[in-house]
Amino acid sequence: MRIGKTLLLLTLLSFPILPLAAQSPFAPKVSGPLSQRVVAYVIDARYDPDKHSVDATETLTYHNLTGQPLDRFPFHLYLNAFQPKATWVRETHRDGGFRTSDLEDSWDAKNEGSSDVTSLEVAGMGDLTKQMKFISPDDGNADDKTVFEVQLPRPVQPGEDVVFKMKFHAVFPEVLARTGYKRTFLLAGQWFPKVGVWWHGAWNCHQFHGMTEFFADFGTYDVKITLPKSYVIGATGVQTAEAENSDGTKTVAFHAEDVHDFAWTADPTFKVVNSEFDGSVGAVKIRLLTYEGHKSSWDRYITIMQQSMKRFDEWYGPYPYAQITVVDPPHGAGEAGGMEYPTFITGDTAWWAPKWQYLAPEGVTEHEFGHQYWYGMVATNEFENAWLDEGINSYTEAKVLDDIYSRDTSILSLLGVHLGEPAYQRQQYLDEPDFDSLARPSYTDMSFGSYGSISYSKTATMLLTLETVVGEKTLRTALHNYFLKYRFTHPTQEDFLRTVNETAQQDLGWYWQQAVYGTGMLDYEVYSAESSPVNWYDPNLEEKKGETDYETQIVLHRKGEFVFPVEAEIKFDNGESDRVRWDGRERWVRYVYTKKAKVVSVQIDPDYRVTMDRNYLNNSDTDQTQHLAVAKITTYWTFVTQLLGQMLGWLT
């Protein structure tokens, strides 16, 4: 009997997790592998919600597909960024950063996070814990511990595997820059030691910087997480098993393939809303982890997810995974909102989120889903070319939201006040438009403001403007081709530019040179527009409408350095109009008309498609005084003055 109980216990310990119905990480019509799998992570983690910490073992199998022997391996320890002297904090304090404005003024102990590798063993090479050393490849900051490297006693030959076994202890900050806890909520992002990427003949393993994001190799993840059984958990990939433990905890297992990161979230108060999107490769499960207080946003989340997935599926390519997990962070955890990990995104909303604005939850959710394509599958180097992810994603955000909510109202539509995505992106771009080029390594940008203006909005604005040259459909096809060609790889910006050139069947180098590699501004103006009688010298001239011949001269002026072809619309007082196209190569151009009509108005870019133009207010000229807009704003301005006076007058 005693032996029997022991055997039973051993049996239970050997199979501690009850597998769920066999679940593929892919959509029904997809089978892997989809990528060249470089890494295979097996992690067994235990979460302590009181200490907001994780103790875990990690086994990483690295396949050396570099074609050369490797004896030095760098690893990211991102959570060490949340320490006062770390480069991330230093830069965020100096330049601003992701949702971390508090760091500009003060440091709070709650901001502190850490990741300690307590042991590191390499199969067949022994314990190499003492070989670990922190390095600072970007800025030489000796206090930065976000990257360590380990020197192996012998190199790993091409085609050979190497297995790293690590034990680590991670402490999360109160939610900060896309990771951490808030009350009982936890978003565990960048929480485990992650190996760098061998890219273009060298290790690419940057320190964690204030402005940029991440870069990692594709592979598989098998992660078990043990946490109190009251917790609801969600993670990258699909859940494969769950078992309750005798100590009041449970262990949940997840599996993911052909992804390059793994994040998870947990909260005992999560509500789960399940839905589905039926795309070209079969049904994809949408799993929303949200809160009772956000009930008014549940449908909005699901609807925008389905609408976005439909357009991405039709326009760019299929979403091949079985599931997408959408996390709706609790109130006060805004720093966890608006983030992307493979098959796992975080949105943002509030219990009072008005239905007339689409920035949250719709805009954020769409944007983060877009990352599944431009970061998740087309895995560009976000440290160096953030625009290939954030920028292209901002462009597709504009296209998708415009398609759903219309071009002029895709951000806001209330009482006649509206804002569309193109205008929004343009204004964001114009914040700090000319400090950095897109081609500059993003983590070296002048400030977070410049990083945002350039990486996100200049790219979106630049691609929207390019539509006027190659056409909207061609650009959509180019993105489709780019996605199909480079999904599950690490393309460069040249790969992207080449794909657009090939699809458009033209050399757009003139454009890329200015828009991607340059910082010049695009600005055109109507310099003059005048009509005078042809027989102006005739002392007996009597001007009669429809009878007198007029010579109309129009001068357009390129004020900025950026050369770009533009259209201009010229209208005459007899109802005629003409559209001309100017290549913009010279500094100015003159158009002359001889008609029995006077010019009424001239407008450059009458359809407002050249969104890179830095000043729309100098794009037109008309001889008909436009009172209405001035009267409208003046009316409100007057009212504000009156109201303020009356409010202050309440004190008398």
Partner 1 sequence: MAKPHFHESYFAELKPGASTDVRDLAVNRKTNLPSGNKGVLGPGFALVIRHQRILWWVFAANFVLGGLGASSAARALGHALHHNLAGEKLTNTFDLGIFAELVTQPDVKLFGHSGGIAVFAGIYVLFLLFATPGIVSVYMEDRRFTTGEFCQAAGSYFWAFVRLALWSLIPFILLDTLFQMVKALSDYVDERVAVDQAAFCALVIGIVPVLLLLVWVRLWFDLAQARAVSLKTRDMRRNVARTFGIAVRHAWRGYGAYLLICIFVSIATALVLLMWSRTPGRAVWLTFVLLEIIMLTHIFGRLWQKACATTWYRLNPEPVPPPPVPPPWEPYRQAPAEQASGSVQDVDAPLSAEVEAPPSEELNQSQQS
Using the rule CB under 8 A, is 537 a contact of partner 1? no
Residues 241-270 that bind partner 1 (CB under 8 A): 269
Token output for 193: 């030691």
With CA atoms as reference, report the closest residue to 594 among 529, 534, 527: 534
Alpha helices per DSSP H over 325-380: 364-371
Place of tokens 């954020």: 364
Q: Does 640 bind partner 1 (CB under 8 A)?
A: yes
- Size of site (CB under 8 A) for partner 1: 64
CA-to-CA separations, 233 to 230, 251, 290, in angstroms, rounded: 10, 10, 11
Residue 570 beta carbon to partner 1: minimum distance, rounded to whole angstroms: 12
Tell me, residue by residue from 291 to 320, as one string, x for binding to partner 1 by CB under 8 A and - for no binding.
x-xx--------------------------
Of 430-489, binders to partner 1 (CB under 8 A) are 430
274, β-bridge pairs: 287
Mask for 322-341, x = binds partner 1 (CB under 8 A): --------xxx---------
Nearest distance from C-beta of residue 63 to partner 1, angstroms: 44
Taking the complex as a whole, the smallest distance from the CB of residue 605 to partner 1 amounts, in Å, to 11
Residue 353 has a CB neighbour count (10 Å cut-off) of 18
625 binds partner 1 (CB under 8 A): yes
CB of 651 to partner 1, least distance (A): 6
Say whether residue 628 binds partner 1 (CB under 8 A).
yes
Query: Cα(283)–Cα(407) distance, rounded to whole angstroms?
Result: 30
H-state helical runs in 491-595? 493-504, 509-515
Shortest distance, position 530 Cβ to partner 1, whole Å: 12
Burial of 585 (0-12, 13-18, 19+ CB in 10 A): exposed
- Of 414-433, which residues contact partner 1 (CB under 8 A)? 415-420, 422-424, 426-427, 430
Q: Are 221 and 262 in contact (CB under 8 A)?
A: yes
The reply to whether 635 sits near partner 1 by the rule CB under 8 A is yes
Q: With binding defined as CB under 8 A, does residue 12 bind partner 1?
A: no
Segment near partner 1 (CB under 8 A); pick from 16-24, 245-253, 469-477, 616-624:
616-624
Residue type at position 315 = W
Is the distance from CB of 471 to CB of 363 less than 8 angstroms? no
Which one of 315, 435, 527, 616 is in contact with partner 1 (CB under 8 A)?
A: 616
Q: What angle do CA 489, 284, 421 make, to 5 degrees?
A: 70
Backbone phi and psi for residue 628, each to the nearest 5 degrees, phi listed first: -60, -45
Closest distance of CB 287 from partner 1, Å: 21
Sign of CA dihedral 468, 470, 471, 473: negative
Q: Which pair of structure tokens corresponds to residue 524? A: 């055109």
Stretch that binds partner 1, among 192-200, 366-374, 475-483, 622-630 (CB under 8 A): 622-630
10 Å CB burial of residue 454 (0-12, 13-18, 19+) is buried
Q: How far is CA 157 from CA 37, 120, 148, 368, 448, in A?
A: 17, 20, 22, 38, 41
First to last CA, the chain: 91
Q: Rounded to whole angstroms, what are the CA distances from 578 to 127, 370, 450, 569?
A: 78, 40, 39, 6
Determine which residue in the list 46, 99, 165, 183 makes contact with partner 1, applying CB under 8 A: 183
Nearer Cβ to partner 1 (183/609): 183
Least separation in angstroms between CB 382 and partner 1: 29
Which CB sits closer to partner 1, 4 or 416? 416
Does 607 bind partner 1 (CB under 8 A)? Our answer is: no
Whichever of 155 and 268 has its CB closer to partner 1, that residue is 268
**Three-state DSSP class for residue 155:** strand
Q: Does 579 sit near partner 1 (CB under 8 A)?
A: no
Q: Pick between residue 285 and residue 559 the one whose CB is nearest to partner 1.
A: 559
Q: How far apart are CA 110 and CA 103, in angstroms?
A: 12
Told to check if 644 binds partner 1 by CB under 8 A, we report yes
505 sits near partner 1 (criterion: CB under 8 A): no
Q: Residue 272, interface with partner 1 (CB under 8 A)?
A: no
Nearer to partner 1, 201 or 416 (CB): 416
Residue 498 binds partner 1, judged by CB under 8 A: no
- When asked if residue 583 is in the footprint of partner 1 (CB under 8 A), the reply is no
Nearest residue (CB) to partner 1, 349 versus 455: 349
> 276 pairs with which residues across the strands?
285
- 620 is a site residue for partner 1 (CB under 8 A): yes
How far apart are CB 462 and partner 1 at their closest, in Å? 17
Integer Cα distance of 43 and 459 in angstroms: 37
Q: Give the CA count within 13 Å in the CB-facing half-sphere of 573.
A: 18
Q: From the list 102, 314, 494, 623, which residue makes contact with partner 1 (rule: CB under 8 A)?
A: 623
Per the CB < 8 A criterion, the answer to whether 584 and 567 are in contact is: no
Beta strands 70-76 and 114-122, pairing class: unpaired
Instruction: Confirm or reject binding of residue 643 to partner 1 (CB under 8 A).
Output: yes
Q: How far is the CB of 642 from partner 1 (least distance, A)?
A: 4
Would you give the binding string for partner 1 spanning residues 341-380, x where CB under 8 A is met? ---------xxx----------------------------
Residue closer to partner 1, measured from CB, 499 or 611 = 611
Residue spans of alpha helices (H) in 96-147: none
How distant, in Å, are the alpha carbons of 91, 245, 516, 582 from that of 84? 11, 38, 35, 54
Four-CA torsion 141, 143, 147, 152, nearest 10 degrees: 100
Interaction between residue 652 and partner 1 (CB under 8 A): yes
Select from 345, 447, 603, 612 the one that contacts partner 1 (CB under 8 A).
603
Report in angstroms how near the CB of residue 461 gets to partner 1 at its nearest. Answer: 12
Displacement of CA 68 from its chain's centroid (Å): 34
Q: Which of residues 380-419 bind partner 1 (CB under 8 A)?
A: 408, 412, 415-419
Structure-block tokens of residue 102? 């508090």
DSSP-assigned beta bridge partners for residue 579: 569
Q: Minimal distance in Å, beta carbon 520 to partner 1?
A: 18
Contacts to partner 1 by CB under 8 A: 183-184, 269, 291, 293-294, 330-332, 350-352, 408, 412, 415-420, 422-424, 426-427, 430, 601, 603, 606, 615-617, 619-623, 625-646, 648-652
